[in-house]
Structure 1
Amino acid sequence: MATRVEQLLAQSVADSIPETPHGSPSIAPSLTYSESADDETEIEDPQQETRRPRRASTRLIVQSPADIQRITGETTSQLVRRCCGGGCCLDLEARRKEGVEYKSVDLPDNEAFRSLLLRIDEVPTRLTNIADLPEQTAFLYPLRKPSSLPSPRGSASYLGVGGDSVVDTSDAEEVLQKLSLEDLDTTIQPPSFVQPHPPHHVFPARIYNCRELTRPGAEKRTFHFDLDVTDYPPGEFVDFKVGGAIGVSAPNNFKDVEEILDLLLVPRFLRDKPVLLRTTKGRWPTVWGDDKARELVTTRRDLLTWCSDIQSYPPTKQLLRVLGEYATEENERQLLLFLCSAEGQGVFCDFRTGPHISILQLLHAFPSAKPPLDVLLSVLQPLMPRFYSLSNDPHDSFEKTADGKQRRLIEIAVSVHETADFRTGTRTGVGSGFFQRQALKFLEARERGEKEPDLYIPMFKGLMANPLAKEFVSDGPMLLIGAGVGIAPFRGFVQRRLKTANCANKVWVLQGVRDSLVDELYSGEWGVHEDEVKRVVESRRGPGRYVQEEVKQQADLVWYIINSVDGRVFVCGSSKGMGEGVEEALVEVAMKKGNLGREEAKRFWELKRDAGQYIAETW
């Protein structure tokens, strides 16, 4: 016997022409249609893969027992046997064991160490289960040109590569050509071996224009970028799509990289000098390359700038073990080894879940720890691309320059993410911080009178099967729900819809903001019918309401759209607060309008998600 949910779904498919919502009057905005609009459809990629579920854009820290061992230094079985899960290991007094001798340790006297908030008074004189020193997988060797003198090994010339390593060759010129830096400006783009995935190459897109979308007083600054992709390399089988995303290979802050090299005592004359990198296994320093050994020529600065993440991940026991191994001050070494031991597990757990800690902060906190750069690179996490949704219709975005040339532009919006910093109070994320630095440089250059500042964004066509772009269609009613920068891709949806609208082609936008006077993104830029298309919900101005409350208020509209042929409900924004609240509001709408129980209502939206009618892209 068919369930109530299945009956509702069958009925929604059978209704070829949905009825206009009725009952209590809805305060939903209406839509004015364009009689002259063309009925266009999205051209699907010829090699597009079949649809599959995808995680939200969150950073996954642990997904296997190997990840747990990498972070904690213990296997899952060891951790389960020793930990009861009650949090008693965080109790300083409870950690003391009878018969165990403790001693005082002088704590480093610097602001960086104090900012770690380590609750350490005394440590055991004998530590057990100290994490093993991790395997070194990256090795740096100096390059030495072959001598013009006869080779002592006979007719074959050779190229010495650090230590006792020797590379035999019958043609020194050919070897030198392979072991030389590529002619690439790595101040604006990463080395070519950081290629995200064939055939996608990182392309330095010039910033054509930039402006700040938020006003003074907004909690988060948001910048809009127009990127010139006219000269994007041809030959790739995908194009920019409405609601799609681009990948950005954002570098670490150049100042932070320089400071880390200073703290590690890497001589300045060596930082940009060609060096041979040999890896024994893994994907690093590529992004999604094969797991294999590699040999390539690069520089120390490029590896630390483009290939290793120096701030996004909490420190692991492997990283602390390396710092402890190379710490020359005994008190620093004891503290670091304590954090890597079974006795220090509680402090370590508290340490990882406390203030956001970067490798730069650790090097300042334990100033005598100066591991070799290649040893440090072996334990740092790879620097991964960041993805940003397009905020325009890329099929119809061109600009004519003063010299009459036509440039193709794509547009994105980036909100600056900030976390605590031990020196400046706050610091920005890798991606958003890079965008903010580029934006401020651009705006300053424009104030100086420069018409085309020489600034770039290293980007590539997004590899992800972006659900927003994948499920966008030119027919059927559509409800777009977003808050913050999550509203950006919907601007492109509306631009496309208003050009292809017909009598059955409706679109509504529910935009959540804190205060429309300071952080309403793209106000006045949605098209000629913006007032009829978009409703803004303010949480910190006037009576104060959240977008999920407006979803429940618009129950008739939601139910009409989701049960229409080709009807779509899109949700985009932060999963905390907005995403969770909207999901709960949609469940309540289904309970009210469909006369369903809570579990049936949840199942209803799950089936709509599987059918591609309910799409939530949250992070």
Structure 2
Amino acid sequence: MSVGVVQLVDSSPDYVSEEEIHTPSVAPSLTYSEDSEDQDEPQLPEETPRRRRASTRLIAQSPADVQRITGESTQQLLNRCCGGGCCMNAQKKEQGVEYERVPLPDNDAFRSLGLKIDEIPTVLTKVADMPEQVTFLQSIRRVSSTPSPTDSAVSFGSQGSSPTIETKLQTLSLENLDTSIQPPSFVQPHPPFNVFPAKIHNTRELTRPGAEKRTYHFDLDITDYPHGEGVDFKVGGAIGVSAPNDAAAVDQVFDLLLVPRYLRDKPVLLRTTRGRWPTVWGDDQARELVTTRRDLLTWCSDIQSYPPTKSLLRILAEYALDPNEKKILMFLCSSQGQGVFCDFRTGPHISLIQLLSAFPSAKPPLDLLLSVLQQLMPRFYSLSNDPHESYGIRDGKQHRLIEIAVTVQETSDWRAGSRTGVGSGFFERQSQKFSELRRAGESAPQLYIPMFKGLMANPLAKEFVSDGPMLLIGAGVGIAPFRGFVQHRLKNANCANKVWVLQGVRDSLVDELYGGEWGVHEERVKKVVQSRRGESRYVQDEVSHQADLVWSIINSVDGRVFVCGSSKGMGEGVEEALIKVAVKKGNLKYDEAKKFWELKREVGQYITETW
């Protein structure tokens, strides 16, 4: 079958892409709700009864309806849906429009995208414009008359350049920094913090074989952490970690873009016209600096955590050499392909490597891609110890340590079956390398975590106090910061009866975190609730069971209830259980009980840290 040329018309700038639309979906519900009323259903006379049919015009009347019908919260639905109603008209053919069947790329990566494309209009309308390029990479050459492969002083232009240009370029040089263990200095979190390569003092896996999720513990050496930032590590605080992209994934992107190996680590002049990139929280301004392509792709751009955008697909379409690949990509960027594009974005998680492998003829310039890729942002992890009391001995010296626990997050992958998140995957690789070096006989492996003092004033740290009764409710890795709370409180004997922990786990034999590591009074202060063993209960069930304790603590002077963990399931369940406790023990109506906990939150007695 011959394939014609797709015509592009009406590429008007007033077209709004789905990334810019945040209005809620108006798609009707197709199911009944006990709280909904069918006001559009005609009422039949009583003498001619007919079987009542389900109306297709019923809509959700409450967040509970949305959760029940879609399996998602209202906010999740809003984030997922572009609001254009395109999902109701996916691949709907229009009369008078000519269509053609385009051969699809024959590779596993494309098939894994799950694109439901039948025929494509020969004329596409409202195709997204090419995005503005704001990032430029320029080759630079050495000024030295005797070039040296190890010379890091770089410049560009001829030796006959004007003094003004030469003077300017003398300040642009590749910094003397080991970017294999920390990002370039321009990747700076919010002032006055700077990224510090903290040496791994020790690491181990907390979970056992058979656990549904793997969790690792890290002892990080902060003895030499730079002073002068005006804040110390605090109980319940969180550190920021500038985790890099996996080195193997970075090289694969280079390979797919045909970037020669000799260029990947070569100094290059980076020029931006606006924006914060490649910094983290820097000012929105133009920049000129010397770096390498590898550093930019390793430390500055996220290549796997975000769904593809039309800007990215438009760039791939522009540089696709295969005409069929170009048509498919252009279709996804057009108004006719909006429904397919929405399914594409909300389906299985798609990485940059997957896209480049699915459309192998597309080889856009790296700097143009960097203009549209999302910023690689730091990840935050709560301290799992009392940072004022944790030390370790190495090389005959005492080292100050902070401790964190990291649960590995996994998502589906088109080739390996699953892949880890940027941050948790980095931690797992570092832990495994550390253990391998230890087994090989190396007593002190030189491995690092690039971190900074991030959130020492987050809700958990801010509301932690040294006195007053506390109830700590958590599940999974959300229990980690509470270990520091208990360690700090149990240093004082009179606090042994003023702190209680409710820890939710699936199976204590494989995934109970920090069992036996809470202090001498652990058996008196901690209750482990298992959802897949024994009585098979959730932590919210234990909250209801401990209603007397909950009510006593929250109504005590300086009494506090802390909740930490996943918001979906655990967080929502615990909040509902707390409301029911207030209804039962306080003799309150449901709305009054809900308002009761809102007031406790406002005064700092009810603190939640969920995600």
CA contact (8 A) 1:206 1:228 kept: yes
How much has 1:500 moved relative to structure 2?
Answer: 2.6
Q: 1:404 to 1:578 in 2, by over 3 A?
A: same
Counterpart selection for 1:169 from 159, 163, 175: 163
Is residue 251 of structure 2 the alignment partner of residue 268 of structure 1? Answer: no
- Distance in 2 (alpha carbons) for counterparts of 1:111 and 1:565: 62
Provide structure 1 residue ranges, at least 5 long, that are not aligned to the other structure. Answer: 1-67, 150-157
Which residue in the other structure is 2:373 paired with?
380
Letter of the 2:476 counterpart = G
CA contact (8 A) 2:15 2:128 kept: no
TM-score, length-normalised on structure 1? 0.83
How much has 1:71 moved relative to structure 2?
Answer: 5.9
SS state at 2:430 partner: helix
Q: 1:272 to 1:85 in 2, by over 3 A?
A: closer
How much has 1:167 moved relative to structure 2?
Answer: 7.6
Which residue in the other structure is 1:233 paired with?
226
Instruction: Note the 1:447-458 alignment, pairs <5 A.
Output: 447-458=439-450
How much has 1:73 moved relative to structure 2?
Answer: 6.2
Which residue in the other structure is 1:116 paired with?
113
Counterpart selection for 1:250 from 203, 224, 243: 243
Is residue 331 of structure 2 the alignment partner of residue 338 of structure 1? Answer: yes
Instruction: Note the 1:121-270 alignment, pairs <5 A.
Output: 121-146=118-143, 160=156, 168-170=162-164, 172=166, 174-270=167-263
How much has 1:90 moved relative to structure 2?
Answer: 4.5
State, as a whole percentage, how many aligned pairs show the same letter.
Answer: 74
Is residue 44 of structure 2 the alignment partner of residue 98 of structure 1? Answer: no
Which residue in the other structure is 1:318 paired with?
311
Q: 1:272 to 1:503 in 2, by over 3 A?
A: closer
Q: 1:167 to 1:221 in 2, by over 3 A?
A: farther
Counterpart selection for 1:492 from 484, 489, 498: 484
- Distance in 2 (alpha carbons) for counterparts of 1:554 and 1:292: 55
CA contact (8 A) 1:475 1:504 kept: no
Residue by residue, what CA displacement relative to the aligned partner does 1:493-544 show, whole Å, maximum 9, x if unpaired?
A: 0000001342696000000000000000000000111111100000011221
CA contact (8 A) 1:417 1:429 kept: yes
Q: 1:183 to 1:578 in 2, by over 3 A?
A: same
Is residue 540 of structure 2 the alignment partner of residue 543 of structure 1? Answer: no
- Distance in 2 (alpha carbons) for counterparts of 1:404 and 1:84: 60
Which residue in the other structure is 2:40 paired with?
none
- Distance in 2 (alpha carbons) for counterparts of 1:444 and 1:617: 35
Is residue 346 of structure 2 the alignment partner of residue 353 of structure 1? Answer: yes
Instruction: Note the 1:28-39 alignment, pairs <5 A.
Output: none
Which residue in the other structure is 1:57 paired with?
none
CA contact (8 A) 1:73 1:340 kept: no
SS state at 2:377 partner: coil
SS state at 1:193 partner: coil
Q: 1:234 to 1:78 in 2, by over 3 A?
A: closer
CA contact (8 A) 2:82 2:342 kept: no
CA contact (8 A) 1:446 1:453 kept: yes
How much has 1:595 moved relative to structure 2?
Answer: 1.1
Residue by residue, what CA displacement relative to the aligned partner does 1:443-496 show, whole Å, maximum 9, x if unpaired?
A: 111111110011000000014631000000011000000000000000000000
How much has 1:235 moved relative to structure 2?
Answer: 1.0
Which residue in the other structure is 1:13 paired with?
none
Provide structure 2 residue ranges, at least 5 long, that are not aligned to the other structure. Answer: 1-13, 28-80, 147-153
Is residue 467 of structure 2 the alignment partner of residue 475 of structure 1? Answer: yes
- Distance in 1 (alpha carbons) for counterparts of 2:377 and 2:455: 13
Q: How many residue pairs get matched?
A: 537
How much has 1:373 moved relative to structure 2?
Answer: 0.3
CA contact (8 A) 1:90 1:350 kept: no
Relative contact order: is structure 1 or structure 2 higher (C-alpha 8 Å, sep ≥ 6)?
1
SS state at 2:596 partner: helix
- Distance in 2 (alpha carbons) for counterparts of 1:135 and 1:161: 27
- Distance in 1 (alpha carbons) for counterparts of 2:338 and 2:584: 49
How much has 1:176 moved relative to structure 2?
Answer: 4.6
Residue by residue, what CA displacement relative to the aligned partner does 1:359-415 show, whole Å, maximum 9, x if unpaired?
A: 1100000001111000000000000000000000000111122x4211000000000
Q: 1:559 to 1:80 in 2, by over 3 A?
A: closer
Residue by residue, what CA displacement relative to the aligned partner does 1:146-187 show, whole Å, maximum 9, x if unpaired?
A: 4879xxxxxxxx96469xxx9843584x54541210000000
